[in-house]
Amino acid sequence: MTSHAELLDFLALAGSGDHVWFAKRLSSNDTGVNGSHQSGIYIPKYIGFAAFSTIDTSKENPKVIIDQCLFRSHNLVVDGLHVTYYNNKHTRKSGTRDEFRITRMGGLASPVHDSEATGAILLMCFDCHRAANKCYGWVARSREEELTIDSWLGRELEPGQLISNVLDTKQAPKFDVPGQWLEHFPKGSEIFDYVVATERQLLPVDKRLLQRRQREWALFQSIEASHVMPRIREGFSDVESFIQFANSTTNRRKSRAGTSLELNLSRIFDEETVKYQQQQVTEHKKKPDFIFPSAAAYRDQTYPVRQLDMLAAKTCCKDRWRQVINEAGRLSEKHLFTLQEGISDTQLTEMFSEGVQLVVPEPHLRFFSRVARPRLLTLADFINRRLELQD
């Protein structure tokens, strides 16, 4: 079992400036939970070309063979890992592929292909420009390790996101940012309200939530750049002032991440006329994210239990879903909304046995096994349930 100190050493290696690294949460496509036969771990082109600048793009599907990959989190060495640039979009008239993939990552013995690692953070670090053709990997095994990696990254790594030390030059969506926001950084709720106000159409609830979160993050990054980049260009007179500025920037990101999902859900509940309350105390000072239809109804012992619900909201529920079990003692079934891209059938079975009903965005159903999908609720399903109970 590796130690916390070894994780810190790994992060120091990745951040040394001599490596190309990326971090993502393993989806069910990566671990194979949903039964897909995806060909390896996807790498965006801007990362692939940065790590493997000498790859021969004149050939069809050129590849680089990495002599050795060490998964330090699991003390596992994988020989002959392949990185392939699938480029038939450029080499064939009917071709469509234009992407990098990492394959031959150790088979079933690899932590990357462990179904129970679905949702865990994967950090890959490449050192392919040196004579020693090696790379390194770390798959987080606990919530504590994920918090350490999140802190190193400067923000919470959410499902579907990818963070790297290589700049993505692809242009983000452009926004007409209000002038006052260039002087004073807006609150997260103000940014969210602006995203909603500038929508061109009202999508179905599941797609509505995903699109709003995507636009909200893009807008936040645009505002952040307008505030942070001039300060960086000015420079810092001492290390302490730099650290304070970096901490302030990181804390602002954490604050936004901590409220975004609840803001999105509460706005959709309002739009769909669902009755609810947020952060109301149940038993033992527990505060579910949402209680339906109200805290007063929940506390009224004569109110029918079958008409009550609670909903917890967690961007990633791996190793965190158990927190939900004791949040509303009157209810034998607790609902949990998550953005996590797949969960192992074993963990889902354990959730159901503990009375936790998973709610996911409809487009994310494809990340779950065919056996699991009928047992899940979409956000639309949950809202319809509440509207029927209200009636």
- For residues 124 and 102, the answer to whether their CB atoms sit within 8 Å is yes
The answer to whether 288 touches 313, Cβ cutoff 8 Å, is: no
How far is it, in rounded angstroms, from Cα 217 to Cα 207? 16
- 269-293 as b/e, with b when 16 or more CB fall inside 10 Å? beeeebebbbebebeeeeebbbbbb
Strand order in the sheet with 290-292: 277-278, 290-292, 309-314, 334-338, 356-360, 377-378
* Lookup: tokens for 157: 């790594």
d(CA 173, CA 213): 13
Q: Is 299 exposed, middle or buried (0-12, 13-18, 19+ CB in 10 A)?
A: middle
Nearest-10 Cα torsion for 103, 105, 109, 111: -110
Q: How is 37-63 classified by DSSP, letter by letter?
A: ---SEEE-HHHHHHH-TT--TTSSS-E
First to last CA, the chain: 54
Structure tokens at 385: 């349930």
Helix 239-271 × helix 379-390 angle, to 10°: 50
- Cβ atoms 361, 379 nearer than 8 A: yes
Is the CB of residue 22 less than 8 Å from the CB of residue 157?
Answer: no
At 313 the three-state DSSP class reads strand
Q: What is the DSSP letter of 284?
A: T
3-state secondary structure of 97: coil
- Tokens linked to 228: 């942070």
Which is catalytic among the residues 85, 136, 298, 303? 298
298 as an active site residue: the answer is yes
Residues marked active site are found at 298
